[in-house]
Chain A
Amino acid sequence: MKTLLKNGKIIDPVNGLNGNFDILLRGSKIIKIAEKIEAEDSEWKTIDLDNKLVMPGLIDMHTHLREPGFEDKETIKTGCEAAAAGGFTTIACMPNTDPVADNPATVEYIKSKAEKAAVKVLPVGSITKKCEGKELAEIGFLSEEGVKCFSDDGNPVMNSEIMRRAMEYIGSFDLTVIDHCEDKKLAGEGVMNEGYISTILGLKPIPAAAEEIMIARDLILAELTGAKLHIAHLSTRQGMKLVTDAKERGIKVTVEVTPHHLVLTDEAVKGYNPDTKVNPPLRSREDVEALKEGLKQGIIDVIASDHAPHTFEDKLGEFDYALNGISGLETSLSLIHDRLIRAGVVSWEDIVRLMAFNPARVLGLKIEGIKEGAVADLTIFDPEREWTVKKENFKSKGKNTPFAGWNLTGKPVLTVVEGKIVYDDRGGNGELFY
């Protein structure tokens, strides 16, 4: 079975492609790329892409799939459907499930579920057992299961001694530590960013310093240990400065930001909508501008959604009681296009680096991109498509989005995983095939 994708506009800075090409797929591979390929056989499935953008399959390296343990929020199946609809062909999932992915059996369970899912899944292992910050998880055994990155994510390791040893140990396997940087004591009972908005809303504040102190600590420990450090969802201006400085000093650090921290400020919390409650919290205008500057300067390596699905009840009622998190997979790329690419902050080439090549590098994946012989993981995006974000249309079980009702320009319309079309929204029905 061959699939011929005609008249797509390929964007692939690694393979130096930027222009209209036809792409021929056979099985799971790309077998030919040329300016014109004509179907030689009526058996070929031919799709006219009509100038839509064709990118190497995008990777969201920060998601929560909630399974095992919290299947009412999301399952590996529904999370992967959401990923396909968002234009992602590979996602990494965080270990804060129940049980925590701190052991080979849980990782194996996730992988076995993922085999039947729409997209590819890479489990992140925990740094410490049960993400309790006390004893190291069995990092070596986890690495034998293919785990490349380790994180205690929302429950970051507070004890600097443990973190130092974790970096040394994980570094010795040439694997990466991902940290959600938050000084839990300093953040206290805070529920939103500290500033004018928290003051007038009367909500308990989280100072930016709670994030920055841990970024600084981690950078110092990364320097001490020589380990590879990836900072998750950086959200503050001072944090950007710390990372910029660390990169200049040659520390092996990569850094990620989320679409919501690039698009929303703490102003969005006015009205107490629990869907705007997220950790790290939505920050000030100055912070958002600093993140955009970091993108322009090439300091930021990765954009990832921190997809954090929750149930309706988790987000019902008083802001203080709502759980943190945004269901982000299905709005990520459209937000980036609508708010950043169209505004000239970044180019499509930048986005392919930020959402495909760089996350692949951090996750230790082979970087092939779009070339003959490569695995056919492709994200196809219609930059003209206008649509409205509707919770009820989400494939994710988590309907917790602060972007409901937003009109966006541009949408992923075809997602190809290993040569197979798993998602097709060209007709507007968002159909899944897998």
Chain B
Amino acid sequence: MSLERKDFLGLYDVKADDIYQILDTAEAMKEIFTRTVKKVPTLRGKTIVNLFFEPSTRTKSSFDLAAKRLSADVMSISKSTSSVVKGETLLDTAKTMEVMGADVVVIRHSVPGAPQFLANNIRASVLNAGDGAHGHPTQALLDLYTMREKLGRIEGLKVLIIGDIGHSRVAHSNIWGLTELGAEVRVAGPATLIPAEVEKMGVKTYNNLDKALQDVDVVNILRIQLERQASGLFPSIREYRHFYGMNKERLEEAGKDLLVMHPGPMNRGIEIDSSVADSEQSVITEQVTNGVAIRMALLYLLAGREIEDEDLA
């Protein structure tokens, strides 16, 4: 079992069959979590490098745990500890990782396209853990996984993504994955945070959250970066909260079947009220659990390209 690709850089060109293959593999991985010994020897002897050029706690620890549960050797390098600060180029850092025997390089970088550049220049598989405003495919896959797990399907679902669509790699990857699987995707946010010609990606845009919320099955609420306000993209946090915050009233109006998601970390009381985040309809903590399963699935499918299926047993 494998993906017919060396690298996994985004969902832009990933077809439905491959997405379902990843989701199904993740399901098998998640089963491991219920065991007493939550570890399989599948990637024993494989080396996975987590190369994080941007601060990240959640994604990094999720990848870390995923690799360890598959028995891979893991090296984690983050910006503050690597020689990047000394001015080493991305290319040289990556080549160093390669000669150390990395099979998969997981990269998080603030510059869009950095994983692509890496993939073009090293033989190891490259897995994008978020690059600028471009893509965050493992986050989108775990979102898809969670939707399918909770609602039984993805095709035909109405999914609303709220917030800073323009700067959000989570939104980008979700849009590609959801539209490929036949969901109806809406995006809502202030006009200043909606990127040019986003409709061509197959989504409907809304500037009015209450209208956008009508008849949706899932809301995926994006973290609002507080520095966007300082750069003039919206007037104040309180105005953002008033027009685009997911609060109790909006949740009640939307109804009990609405699934609430957030990629984290949350700004409680800004884009999402605690009463929403902690409600029965929220699956935010399940997203975190599923994230580990999805990352195990992808590491397995990339690093284990030549490993037989039974090794998973």
A residues contacting B by CB (< 8 A) are 194-196, 198-205, 207, 271-272, 316-321
B90 touches A198 (CB 8 A): no
B112 touches A320 (CB 8 A): yes
Bound-state CA distance A320–B112 (Å) is: 8
A196 touches B112 (CB 8 A): no
Bound-state CA distance A360–B166 (Å) is: 45
Q: Which residues of A lie under 8 Å from residue B201 when comparing CB positions?
A: 196, 199-200
B132 touches A317 (CB 8 A): no
B88-134 interface with A by 8 A CB criterion: 89-91, 109, 111-114, 116-117, 131-134
A199 touches B134 (CB 8 A): no
Q: Which residues of B lie under 8 Å from residue A320 when comparing CB positions?
A: 111-113, 132
A318 to nearest B CB, angstroms?
4
* Interface flags, B160-202, vs A, CB<8A=1, else 0: 0000001001001000000000000000000000011110110
B240 at the interface (CB under 8 A from A): no
A362 to nearest B CB, angstroms?
34
Q: Which residues of B lie under 8 Å from residue A201 when comparing CB positions?
A: 112-113, 134
B135 at the interface (CB under 8 A from A): yes
Q: Which residues of A lie under 8 Å from residue B12 when comparing CB positions?
A: 200
Q: A201-B112, A202-B131, A203-B112 are in contact. Are A317 and B197 (CB under 8 A)?
A: no
Choose among B90, B172, B197, B200 the residue that contacts A318 (Cβ–Cβ < 8 A): B90
B132 touches A196 (CB 8 A): no
B195 touches A199 (CB 8 A): yes
Closest 6 CB pairs of A and B: A202-B134, A272-B113, A202-B133, A202-B112, A196-B197, A199-B195
B196 touches A196 (CB 8 A): yes
Q: A316-B89, A317-B91, A318-B111 are in contact. Are A200 and B117 (CB under 8 A)?
A: no
B195 touches A316 (CB 8 A): no
Q: Which residues of B lie under 8 Å from residue A199 when comparing CB positions?
A: 166, 195-198, 200-201
B residues contacting A by CB (< 8 A) are 12, 89-91, 109, 111-114, 116-117, 131-135, 166, 169, 172, 195-198, 200-201
Bound-state CA distance A347–B279 (Å) is: 70
Choose among B113, B116, B200 the residue that contacts A196 (Cβ–Cβ < 8 A): B200
Bound-state CA distance A317–B91 (Å) is: 7
Bound-state CA distance A207–B109 (Å) is: 25
Q: A199-B201, A202-B131, A202-B132 are in contact. Are A319 and B196 (CB under 8 A)?
A: no
Q: Which residues of B lie under 8 Å from residue A321 when comparing CB positions?
A: 111
Q: Which residues of A lie under 8 Å from residue B195 when comparing CB positions?
A: 198-199, 205
Bound-state CA distance A195–B197 (Å) is: 6
Choose among B91, B116, B133 the residue that contacts A272 (Cβ–Cβ < 8 A): B116
Q: Which residues of A lie under 8 Å from residue B89 when comparing CB positions?
A: 316-317
A317 touches B196 (CB 8 A): no
Bound-state CA distance A203–B112 (Å) is: 6
Q: Which residues of A lie under 8 Å from residue B133 when comparing CB positions?
A: 202-204
User: Can you report 30 residue pairs joining A to B where beta carbons are below 8 Å apart?
Assistant: A194-B196, A195-B196, A198-B195, A199-B196, A199-B198, A199-B200, A200-B12, A202-B133, A202-B134, A202-B135, A202-B172, A203-B112, A203-B113, A203-B132, A203-B133, A205-B196, A207-B196, A272-B116, A272-B117, A316-B89, A317-B89, A317-B90, A318-B90, A318-B109, A318-B113, A319-B117, A320-B111, A320-B112, A320-B132, A321-B111
Interface centre among A194, A271, A317, A318 (most CB of B within 10 A): A318
A320 to nearest B CB, angstroms?
5
Q: Contacts A198-B196, A202-B134, A203-B133 given; 7 further ones with Cβ under 8 A?
A: A199-B166, A201-B113, A202-B132, A202-B133, A202-B135, A204-B133, A320-B132
Bound-state CA distance A266–B76 (Å) is: 36
Q: Which residue of the partner chain A has the closest CB to B89?
A: A317
Q: Which residues of A lie under 8 Å from residue B91 when comparing CB positions?
A: 316-317
Q: A272-B116, A316-B91 are in contact. Are A200 and B172 (CB under 8 A)?
A: yes
A271 to nearest B CB, angstroms?
7
Interface centre among A196, A199, A271, A316 (most CB of B within 10 A): A199
Q: Which residues of A lie under 8 Å from residue B111 when comparing CB positions?
A: 318-321
Bound-state CA distance A321–B255 (Å) is: 47
Bound-state CA distance A231–B197 (Å) is: 29
B204 to nearest A CB, angstroms?
15
Q: Which residues of B lie under 8 Å from residue A319 when comparing CB positions?
A: 111-113, 117
Q: Which residues of B lie under 8 Å from residue A317 when comparing CB positions?
A: 89-91, 117
B137 to nearest A CB, angstroms?
12
Interface centre among A201, A204, A207 (most CB of B within 10 A): A201
B112 touches A272 (CB 8 A): yes
Q: Which residue of the partner chain A has the closest CB to B113?
A: A272
Q: Which residues of B lie under 8 Å from residue A194 when comparing CB positions?
A: 196
Q: Which residues of A lie under 8 Å from residue B169 when comparing CB positions?
A: 202
Q: Which residues of B lie under 8 Å from residue A316 when comparing CB positions?
A: 89, 91
Bound-state CA distance A317–B197 (Å) is: 27
B159 to nearest A CB, angstroms?
18
Q: Which residues of A lie under 8 Å from residue B198 when comparing CB positions?
A: 199
Q: Which residue of the partner chain A has the closest CB to B175?
A: A200
Bound-state CA distance A318–B132 (Å) is: 11
Q: Which residues of B lie under 8 Å from residue A198 when comparing CB positions?
A: 195-196
A318 touches B117 (CB 8 A): yes
